[in-house]
Amino acid sequence: MPHLLDPRRQAALTDLLNLLPVPSMAAINWQLLDRALIHPSFSPTNNDELEFFGDSALRMAATCFLWRYFGDRRVGELTALRSTIVSDDTLSHIARAYALDRYLLIGASVRGDSKAQKTILADALEAVIGALYFSTNDLSLIQPWLDPHLRRVSDHVLTLPAMGNYKAKLQELTQRIWKCLPEYRTLNQTTPFQVEVWLGDRPLAGGRPKP
């Protein structure tokens, strides 16, 4: 260990790891964990890089989780499910479950910004995941506490009527927010043709069928 943390900070981070809980603290890189909980508004040495790498570790953990529990489902379903279980909404809920904001060092300039709190918490959780991943170079400190949350969210999402029916899901979304339905336009009649989804006078997305 290059240097020791302040004993109060060390104690706080130990409390957090007990809350998760991680299976073992012997391999923890405490400096990385400390850095994971420093917001850019607080210090130039912050969790930006760990959040970036933690995002990849999170997606790997989510993919492994889906393979274990839902490996018999279609790739399209798994892709949609993964996008939900790694979303800022899900991550911020998990972060709140562990009161992550108590351990996060954040500058006064954003502390009172309620609109930014979801993203701040989600980013901090990704950074913590990054710190735990780099402590062991595997998912052993992450999966034991993360998988139960992913399972709970997945089980809920799979009960939704629109799951697997993405056209219906999009229609529900646009009807609720913009009070109108999307329009599907075929750009040409040749093969391969391209289809675009429009909302009013705006194209939302486009794609071609697989050959």
What gap in Å lies between CA 87 and CA 95, rounded to an integer? Answer: 12
97: left (phi over 0), alpha (psi -120 to 50) or beta: alpha
Q: Which two tokens stand for residue 172?
A: 């529900």
- 183 catalytic per annotation: no
What gap in Å lies between CA 85 and CA 71, rounded to an integer? Answer: 16
Active-site choice (34, 51, 123, 126): 126
Active-site choice (34, 51, 55, 147): 55
- 155 catalytic per annotation: no
HSE on the CB side for 193, CA within 13 Å? 9
Beta bridge partners, 203, equal 198
DSSP secondary structure, 141-193, as one string? TTHHHHHHHHHHHHHHHTTSTTTT-HHHHHHHHHHHHHSS--EEEE--SSSS-
CB 129 within 8 A of CB 11: no
- H-type helices in the chain, by residue range? 7-19, 30-36, 48-70, 75-85, 88-97, 108-111, 117-136, 143-157, 166-178
The catalytic residue positions are: 55, 126
